[in-house]
Structure 1
Amino acid sequence: MPSHTSDNARQRQEAIDRAHAIYDSGRLLDDLARRLSFRTESQNEAQAAALHAYLTEEIAPTLSRLGFTSRIVANSAVERAPFLIAERIEDPALPTVLTYGHGDVVRGYDDQWRASLAPWRVTVQKDRWYGRGSADNKGQHSINFAALGAVLQARRGKLGYNVKVIFEMGEEIGSPGLDEICAAEREALSADVFIASDGPRVSAERPTVFLGSRGGVNFDLTVDLREGAHHSGNWGGVLRNPAIVLAHAIASLVDHRGAIVVDGLRPPPISDAVRHALSDIELGGDENAPAIDPEWGEPGLTPTERVIAWNSLEVLAFKAGNPDAPVNAIPPVARATCQLRFVVGTDSARAAEHLSAHLARHGFADVQVSVTRTAAATRLDPEDPWVDWVLSSIATTSGKKPALLPNLGGTVPNDVFADTLGLPTLWVPHSYPACSQHAPNEHLLGSVAREALGLMAGIWWDLGEDAHRIAALRSARGTHVAHVCASATASAAAASFAAAALSH
């Protein structure tokens, strides 16, 4: 846990107060308004200039004011989505933290926002700060950089550790090139711990830490039966309809309540340790959160366990014929875009093999399986010393017991940092589940932003006191970055945290 003497506690509080003042003065809102004005849609090739400008005109100058040197690195995978690598080295012998952010956003969908709102400007309505990227991820990295600046001021310009940054502009298109850049720049990005922010808290009121993320396999199912469409009156009843075939094929993958029935795509049983970690976490409940369907998904699990500790198979899109202008014809082709979200321990590398074999056994040999994208599942061992440390730091600052998620239900490029760079990974999100991320009316909560500034100031401060000790403890224990099924000792970590929280 973080170590605090009375004098240190006073100085720590000064750093937190400085961070809160950034919110109270309007500086954070000004920073966010300026950053949201960059139309950084990474899916839109026409916005290549904006993607580059966000790094050169916004992030690099911000980091320069904090004492970083930075460089832009080209992305050979997708030219329009460059990277920025920066470092602030006080002494090579000091511990080092690596942090991350992404400046790209999904499409703005400008005409779908509520009246008086727009994606490329900040609109404040009560506690909500509306704008594309306010929650994902411009608001979150703005908070982290601002809090770091507050700690630098409180520490009179010396953090007591080094900071490195990897910043990308292609996260919303699957982070193309990120793994290759991190592998090539492994020495430049070497560190003792990774700390960053993305995704939502479990609720607006409860600070959260997650240690990895579910992985994802995107795949297409296609039934291509013949050339051209044929009149449904003349041929209906004697020609197989690919849409009907495909609908039955999908129904063979999941049961009537959405539980996966393909044995190779199901995860290992949930350990007692993971169940314990999730036992006091409630899914949903925030304003605007969708109503949970209590009977949907794997039976015998809580809603939280279904999202965090289990696998789900979803149909993202389904097309046959022309849905916008249907005609009286049997279509020749039907296609569905599907997605498997999975936890550590799933045989995801053989997903296509498992799907094809299952479909063949059920008489759907005509269904073609094509995997289009994969992302690995990761999970840091909850017993890692960094986990108890960050939970205790947040508890000290907030007076709240933070939620510990073994992994996020969604997917972030954590495998790059955990596997390619070999780092223990801590994510401290500043959004909340009902933020309309990726949808019209995306927003950040001002109250969460203010609290997050304080939490991150506490974390940045505590690194200066404890990074060397925690790194040494981790080394002495022989701790490795174990992206396992959290099967061993999460309960011990939770007990350690509970004792630490009670002592503050």
Structure 2
Amino acid sequence: MTSAPSRHQAVHDAAASGYPTAIADLGGLVRIPSVAFPGFDPADVERSAEAVADLVRGTALFETVEIRRASIPGADEIGKPAVVARRAAKNGRPTILLYAHHDVQPVGDEALWDSPPFQPTVRDGRLYGRGAADDKAGIMVHIGALRALKEALGEDFDLGVALFIEGEEEAGSRSFATFLSENADVLRADVIVVADSGNWDSRTPALTVSLRGNTRFTMRVRTLEHASHSGMFGGAVPDAMMAAVTLLSTLWDADGAVAVDGLTERDVETPEYSEQTLRDEAGLPDGVRPIGRDSILGRIWNKPSITVTGIDAPSVVNASNTLSPEVTVVISARVAPGQDAREAYAAIEAHLRAHAPFGAELEFFDQDFGNPFLVDTTGWAVADARVALEQAYGPAPVDMGVGGSIPFIADLVREFPGAQILVTGVEDPHARAHSPNESLHLDTFRHALLAEALLLEKLDARTLEA
């Protein structure tokens, strides 16, 4: 058997030599506009799944590689295509499940992009394109690491590997729970790597150990049976826009902190993080001050937030002297670790109903829920991952909270309660995921690929206790 130091070096060298091919393959995936939202061409998501399946088959490591779907609970429709693959463990070795997703966010206003969103473009050490970071880079970290392991150790290594590349994460993972249940035998593992998070910065790796939950819903505000002339009735009749703006303003206090009774906070210390770093990473202009109170990372990682993410109302081009009868808004709330997402939603709905001005009629619908998550960091897989990250990046990894949400992790915990979960990623604070000019820092990608390859090598040498 190859000695441990030479195994390590062989995997290291194979990951380095495989990097150019991984980047080229990533560019091919970025060219596919795989938006899974309603209203976009589903054929592009199908094409993306086929492209991922071809890459997985190309490794020649798996006993099965399939594109599968699952039904959406409560809806007469089927979910988007996901790629699943599996090879069995041998000689008492563990099985690792590698997760990423191949669907992407819509591009938004294409005029805000400096290069075409589905034309991968390298500038200043970054690869620009929708999905370049979130999360097609995660797919290629998995593929690149597996290629490196095979090149270094041969295809007959003992580690079991399952692969799950989802096709609807950005659209809410509506069939995820059903998919897990129906495909549990293919996906069951001792360790799960969710490659859909970020790093402390472009040089320092991180393990994500806490995630906020989320609840998203639509609210309709109605004050009139029909539109009326603003000159004839303005000043006596409340229009829906006035009522909606007045109501929404009650969700925050004067500092911009959430002002809803029943939403909880998590009280833990956070690393140092300056206001200037926030301005740089978030794009906050000098004249605009941050919102909230206490430590900045505490606000992002451990407190709730509420954002109005969409509104249906007369557009500027269609503006007229009319009192609007109704306005519809989409509200997205992030839930602090430790609170159930449905409990948080109930608190927000109760607040809005209690503060509805002028007797405005409120209707709530299209609710989505995702619970927060705290990672158990005591397991051997976390220890192995920390070592691999430091070996790949140089600096030791940071245990990091994330203000965003990965709601399906709760489904993974429920379906595979004995699995150790590692939340990793390839994004850095300047990746601009979900925004125009999304990009991947190429050195971060190189290090992430190497780190996962080294982790796989460590697990291939680990024997599970009987």
Fold agreement, TM-score > 0.5 = yes
Question: Partner residue of 1:85?
Answer: 84
Query: RMSD in angstroms over aligned alpha carbons?
Result: 2.6
Question: Partner residue of 2:228?
Answer: 230
Q: Deviation at 1:353? A: 3.1
Given that residues 379 and 407 in structure 1 are in contact (C-alpha distance below 8 angstroms), is that contact kept between their aligned partners in structure 2?
Answer: no
Distance 1:139 1:37 in 2: 13
Decide which of 318, 328, 336 is 2:321's aligned counterpart: 328
Q: Deviation at 1:225? A: 1.4
Counterparts of 1:24-173 in structure 2, within 5 Å, are 26-43=20-37, 45=39, 47-68=41-62, 69-77=64-72, 78-79=77-78, 81-91=80-90, 93-109=92-108, 111-112=110-111, 114-115=113-114, 117-173=115-171
Q: Deviation at 1:352? A: 4.2
Given that residues 339 and 371 in structure 2 are in contact (C-alpha distance below 8 angstroms), is that contact kept between their aligned partners in structure 1?
Answer: no
Distance 1:285 1:349 in 2: 30
Gaps of 5+ in 1: 1-5, 476-504
Question: Partner residue of 1:436?
Answer: 432
Distance 1:227 1:110 in 2: 34
Distance 1:212 1:356, change over 3 A: closer
SS at match of 1:369: strand
Structure 1 stretch displaced more, 386-395 or 160-169: 386-395
Distance 1:251 1:44, change over 3 A: closer
Given that residues 217 and 371 in structure 1 are in contact (C-alpha distance below 8 angstroms), is that contact kept between their aligned partners in structure 2?
Answer: no
Question: Partner residue of 1:337?
Answer: 330
Structure 1 stretch displaced more, 393-402 or 105-114: 105-114
SS at match of 1:264: coil
Given that residues 204 and 393 in structure 2 are in contact (C-alpha distance below 8 angstroms), is that contact kept between their aligned partners in structure 1?
Answer: no
Given that residues 41 and 105 in structure 1 are in contact (C-alpha distance below 8 angstroms), is that contact kept between their aligned partners in structure 2?
Answer: yes
Q: Deviation at 1:407? A: 4.8
Deviations 1:108-151 (A, max 9, x none): 45832545x22222211230111221111112211221112101
Deviations 1:20-77 (A, max 9, x none): 1222xx3122211222222212125553223223223432443452411212212323
Distance 1:147 1:355 in 2: 44
Given that residues 230 and 322 in structure 2 are in contact (C-alpha distance below 8 angstroms), is that contact kept between their aligned partners in structure 1?
Answer: yes
Decide which of 416, 424, 442 is 1:421's aligned counterpart: 416
Tell whether 2:267 aligns with 1:270.
yes
Q: Deviation at 1:211? A: 3.3
Structure 1 stretch displaced more, 355-364 or 187-196: 355-364
Decide which of 271, 278, 285 is 1:279's aligned counterpart: 271
Counterparts of 1:346-385 in structure 2, within 5 Å, are 346-362=339-355, 364=357, 366=360, 367-370=362-365, 372-385=367-380
Question: Partner residue of 2:450?
Answer: 454
Distance 1:129 1:349, change over 3 A: same
Given that residues 45 and 80 in structure 1 are in contact (C-alpha distance below 8 angstroms), is that contact kept between their aligned partners in structure 2?
Answer: no
Letter in 1 for 2:390: A
Give 1 or 2: higher strand fraction: 2
SS at match of 2:369: strand
Given that residues 200 and 430 in structure 1 are in contact (C-alpha distance below 8 angstroms), is that contact kept between their aligned partners in structure 2?
Answer: yes
Structure 1 stretch displaced more, 385-394 or 217-226: 385-394
Given that residues 214 and 407 in structure 2 are in contact (C-alpha distance below 8 angstroms), is that contact kept between their aligned partners in structure 1?
Answer: no
Percent identity reads: 22
